[in-house]
Each structure stands twice: as structure tokens, then as C-alpha cells.
């Protein structure tokens, strides 16, 4: 099923972002490319914030966030309460992020994994449904933090 997917990266992941965006379009998805548009140095938080905003305002159903390690941009995306971004490096984690956490953004480290692994992670992420049930109340807490019961 085609999805509306926002994709963003910093300079370290520009090449991977371009390849993943082209592949997603070839797979029939509607891709919103939020940049960066070159390998010139940029600040990953700007692109992570833009991706979180695209999820929050409904321009995209899912997102793909990339930077050198995937760590920085995932932190930036998760600053938006509507975004649930999971940093993954293999398909099992991508699937579990969807099943248990209803993650709507997947983050990848371009300096840590290759393009084929990135595609495998994104494929699993997009094809795996959220299980709901007991996981639903936990997911609701992710977007509406409260004090810990401890």
C-alpha cells in the first residue's frame, strides 16, 4: 500500500537519503523530501524538527530520518510529541518499533549501515502493523508524558 513518507537528512546522509527517496518513489510511495539537498555541512536538528512537523501536521504518515549515526536526528524528531522515532540498524528492530511502539518515523545511520540494509529496515518498518492492545496505553503515554508512578 502506498504511503505518504517524509524523508530528511543532514549532510552525512545526503547520498543515502537521495537513494532511499528515489527507491521509495519507485515503490509507489508519495515522498516529501525535506532536505538537505547537498553534502554541504548543515545542522541535523533543523531537518529532524522539519520531519517531526511534517508528521504532526499530517503532510506525512511516516518518516525516514537519516544522519551519520542516526542518533542526533532521531533526538530532534522526537522533540515533537506527535513523532515516535525509532533508531534502528536491522529489520527486527524496525518491525518491533512498529508492532510495540507504533513508531511513525524510522531513523538510520548512514555511516553505520549500507543502502541495502537501510532499504530492508524501511521495508520492514512500512510493512509491519501496530499490534495495539496492551501496547496502546503505552504509546499514548509517549505522546502525553506524566509523572512516573515510582
Catalytic residues, by residue number, are 67, 100
Cα dist from 115 to 7, 98, 119, 137, whole Å: 15, 21, 6, 35
Closest to 110 (Cα-Cα) out of 92, 91, 83, 89: 89
Amino acid at each position: 500500500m502506498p504511503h505518504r513518507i517524509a524523508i530528511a537528512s543532514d549532510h552525512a546522509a545526503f547520498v543515502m537519503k537521495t537513494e532511499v527517496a528515489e527507491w521509495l518513489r519507485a515503490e509507489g510511495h508519495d515522498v516529501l523530501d525535506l532536505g538537505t539537498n547537498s553534502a554541504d555541512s548543515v545542522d541535523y536538528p533543523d531537518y529532524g524538527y522539519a520531519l517531526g512537523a511534517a508528521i504532526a501536521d499530517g503532510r506525512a504518515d511516516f518518516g525516514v530520518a537519516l544522519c551519520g549515526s542516526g542518533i542526533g536526528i532521531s533526538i530532534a524528531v522526537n522533540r515533537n510529541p506527535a513523532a515516535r522515532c525509532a533508531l534502528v540498524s536491522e529489520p527486527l528492530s524496525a518491525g518491533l518499533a512498529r508492532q510495540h511502539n507504533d513508531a511513525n518515523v524510522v531513523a538510520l545511520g548512514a555511516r553505520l549501515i549500507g543502502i541495502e540494509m537501510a532499504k530492508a529496515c524501511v521495508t520492514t518498518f512500512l510493512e509491519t502493523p501496530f499490534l495495539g492492545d496492551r501496547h496502546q496505553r503505552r504509546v499514548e503515554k509517549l505522546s502525553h508524558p506524566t509523572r512516573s508512578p515510582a
